[in-house]
């Protein structure tokens, strides 16, 4: 676990699906991508580019047709069901809409207890610690509340706290900030930076938000029709792109 | 196109509006003022919960009259006071002067009716006399939909094409004003750019005014000549887009634009506005932004800021701390500012 190799390494992964007409198409086509410890990698592209499928393959939720997904250097395909469960704990997703992903009938206490690492003891204190690490202080005041009693920004923070409950090495954020107001977006990005600094968590961020990818990520991969067409340091790729598709993507974004 | 002398097409003055929801009274407009000149493109921005959509719905007469009440202030459209309009009056106005497009075209289209019939239904009865079929052709051409789309059902079209259908329906009554509430939020950036280009072209060709409501400040800045910034139900700053962009005077506007740029401050943190929008069910004394404001002073707690004009170009602000020269750079907000 403490090697210097990548946490996540996706190699030559391909996944095909059948469309409504029964024809096969490549959702992900021979894609390789890695994420190092504490690194922020953004995956950008339009809907249908395959970025969310790739995210699900990374989480071990979809099995690729070919290629390999390695976590801490171990191929997910070779793991026993118990090992795969343990591996999945190391990678936690945060989704777009916290209102939809947090069970409205459960208190924050219950939501965090349910998501906690099996080794966590004294769950109440553990939950309070998690809440405070996402800026909800004092944490004890939030335990008995339900998601609908929180503001949008606070719900997003709870969603991040829940992802942290498993002590992951990697957080996969699939359009996690897409519905958020820009003010909330800034708050959550700062929170993610803070968590990275304290816990050395890596992020794989799937997003269509070019300005966030450019300012937040270390590296970026641009996906188009199942392939990565451009890949490199985020500032460079999203400022001076070399691929036509990246150029057209940038040209379409109204910059401030 | 925007001569300030021209008689405004829309004039909303100090509107106070409330609606009841689950026995709570939400004061969604608390001093909203907005004007739109004929042919002008005006943007309305603010966080969710700032009252943008309620204001737009008030302008279109779409708020439920059973639960919504205009407490004070007025709305004029094309010189007519519509503040006390009933449903029948609104229908006439929406069939002649006002049209709208919204975020999700699918929920406004009938899933079991072909596109051409839906467009025909959007043509006001008074205009159906001469060749309806030709009129549908014209509208399809106007929004650059292929003739083949005529016989399609909504689910057979892409998101961008559906938005074009909605636009064709909105244009069927030859409106003087199009209200577009987050029209491209559900679309990919390249499709968004196509729709925005189309909107700009149509406005020019038809001399139509537009009120564009969006949380995407880049989009609004590009498409609109003037911008209104709304916070807690009131318009807090407005003026020419270029002036708002270069010299925002309200700390809220500055925070909003810095956040939207995903600006990293010298300390490495992203620019943000701490805290949340206030609950509009509660009464707020003084300036509603003071709880989140880096420049708040004692006066802001007790007195609602007066409206002051900045410079010659019609740039206005409601803030005690605002100076003619704009305000100091944003302070980094602590990550714990929940």
Q: Where are the domains of chain B?
A: 1-97+175-327, 112-173
Chain A contact probe: residue of B48, B188, B220, B337 with most A CBs at under 10 A: B188
Q: φ, ψ for residue B223 (rounded to 5)?
A: -90, -20
- If one counts the domains in chain A, the total is 2
DSSP per-residue codes, B149-216: GGG--GGGS-HHHHHHHHHHHHHTT--SEEEEESTTTTS-HHHHHHHHHHHHHHHHHHT-EEEEE-S-
Q: Are residues A143 and A191 in the same domain?
A: no
Q: By C-alpha distance, which of B117, B198, B121, B106 is closest to B156?
A: B106
Residue A21 forms contact with B (CB below 8 Å): no
The pLDDT tens digits of the residues spanning A13-58 come to 999 999 888 899 999 999 999 999 999 999 999 988 999 999 999 9
**Do B10 and B28 form a contact (C-beta atoms < 8 A)?**
no
Q: Among A147, A167, A187, which residue terminates a domain?
A: A167
Q: Are residues A156 and A201 in the same domain?
A: no
Distance from CA of A68 to the nearest CA of B (A): 30
**Facing residue for A185 by CB, picked from B255, B259, B335:** B259
Contact A183 B215 (CB under 8 A): no
Contact B333 A46 (CB under 8 A): no
Q: By C-alpha distance, which of B247, B215, B241, B218 is closest to B228?
A: B241
ipTM reported for the complex, 2 dp: 0.87
Q: By C-alpha distance, which of B110, B301, B197 is closest to A251?
A: B197
Distance from CA of A244 to the nearest CA of B (A): 13
CATH says B1-97+175-327 is which class? alpha beta
**Facing residue for B221 by CB, picked from A184, A211, A256:** A256
Distance from CA of A49 to the nearest CA of B (A): 11
The pLDDT tens digits of the residues spanning B104-139 come to 888 889 999 999 999 999 998 888 877 899 999 999
Distances (CA, A) of B160 to A136, A252, B104, B143, B303: 40, 14, 11, 11, 47
Contact A181 B47 (CB under 8 A): yes
- Residue B5 clears pLDDT 80, i.e. is over it: no
Q: Are residues A130 and A214 in the same domain?
A: no
Q: Rg of chain B over CA atoms, in angstroms?
A: 21
What residues of chain B lie within 8 A of the CB of A46, using their CB? Answer: 188-190
**B4 compared with A188, residue with greater pLDDT:** A188
Residues 247-286 of B with CB under 8 A from A: 255-257, 259-264, 268-274, 276
Q: Among A167, A191, A216, which residue terminates a domain?
A: A167
Domain holding A107, by residue range, is: 99-167
The pLDDT of residue B100 is 94
The pLDDT of residue B186 is 82
């Amino acid at each position: 676990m403490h090697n210097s190799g990548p946490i996540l390494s996706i190699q030559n992964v391909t996944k095909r699906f059948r469309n409504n007409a029964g024809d096969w198409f490549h959702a992900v086509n021979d894609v390789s991508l890695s994420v190092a410890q504490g690194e922020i990698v953004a995956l950008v592209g339009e809907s249908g580019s395959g970025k969310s499928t790739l995210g699900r393959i990374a989480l071990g939720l979809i099995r690729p047709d070919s290629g390999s997904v390695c976590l801490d250097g171990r191929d997910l395909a070779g793991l026993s069901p118990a090992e795969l469960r343990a591996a999945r704990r190391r990678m936690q997703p945060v989704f777009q809409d916290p209102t939809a992903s947090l069970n409205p009938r459960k208190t924050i206490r219950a939501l965090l207890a349910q998501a906690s690492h099996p080794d966590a003891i004294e769950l109440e204190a553990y939950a309070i610690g998690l809440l405070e690490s996402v800026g909800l202080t004092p944490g004890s005041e939030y335990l008995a509340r339900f998601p609908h009693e929180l503001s949008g920004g606070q719900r997003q923070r709870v969603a991040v706290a829940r992802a942290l409950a498993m002590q992951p090495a990697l957080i996969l954020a699939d359009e996690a900030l897409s519905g958020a107001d820009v003010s909330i977006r800034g708050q959550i990005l700062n929170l993610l930076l803070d968590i990275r600094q304290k816990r050395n968590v890596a992020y794989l961020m799937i997003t269509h938000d070019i300005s966030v990818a450019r300012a937040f990520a270390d590296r970026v991969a641009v996906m188009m029709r199942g392939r990565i067409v451009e890949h490199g340091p985020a500032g460079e790729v999203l400022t001076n792109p070399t691929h036509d598709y990246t150029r057209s993507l940038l040209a379409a974004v109204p910059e401030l | 196109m925007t001569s300030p002398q021209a008689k405004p097409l829309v004039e909303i003055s100090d509107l106070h509006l409330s609606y009841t929801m689950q026995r709570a009274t939400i004061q969604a407009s608390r001093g909203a003022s907005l004007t739109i000149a004929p042919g002008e493109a005006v943007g309305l921005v603010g966080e969710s919960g700032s009252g943008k959509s309620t204001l737009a719905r008030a302008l279109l007469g779409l708020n439920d009259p059973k639960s919504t009440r205009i407490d004070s202030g007025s709305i004029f459209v094309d010189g007519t006071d519509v503040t006390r309009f009933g449903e029948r009056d609104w229908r006439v106005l929406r069939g002649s002067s006002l049209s709208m497009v919204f975020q999700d075209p699918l929920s406004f289209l009938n899933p079991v009716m072909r596109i051409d019939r839906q467009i025909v239904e959007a043509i006001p009865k008074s205009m159906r006399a001469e060749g309806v079929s030709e009129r549908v052709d014209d509208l399809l051409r106007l929004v650059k939909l292929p003739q083949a789309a005529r016989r399609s059902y909504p689910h057979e079209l892409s998101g961008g094409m559906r938005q074009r259908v909605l636009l064709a329906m909105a244009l069927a009554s030859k409106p003087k004003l199009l209200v577009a509430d987050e029209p491209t939020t559900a679309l990919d950036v390249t499709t968004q750019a196509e729709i925005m280009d189309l909107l700009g072209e149509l406005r020019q060709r038809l001399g139509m005014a537009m009120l564009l409501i969006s949380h995407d400040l880049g989009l609004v800045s590009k498409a609109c000549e003037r911008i209104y910034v709304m916070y807690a139900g009131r318009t807090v700053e407005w003026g020419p887009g270029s002036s708002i962009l270069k010299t925002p005077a309200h700390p809220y506007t500055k925070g909003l634009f810095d956040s939207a740029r995903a600006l990293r401050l010298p300390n490495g943190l992203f620019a943000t506005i701490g805290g949340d929008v206030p609950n509009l069910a509660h009464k707020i004394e003084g300036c509603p932004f003071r709880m989140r404001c880096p420049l708040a002073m004692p006066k802001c707690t007790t007195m609602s800021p007066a409206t002051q004009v900045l410079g010659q170009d019609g740039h206005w602000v409601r803030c005690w701390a605002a100076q003619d020269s704009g305000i100091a750079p944003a302070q980094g907000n602590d990550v714990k500012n929940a």
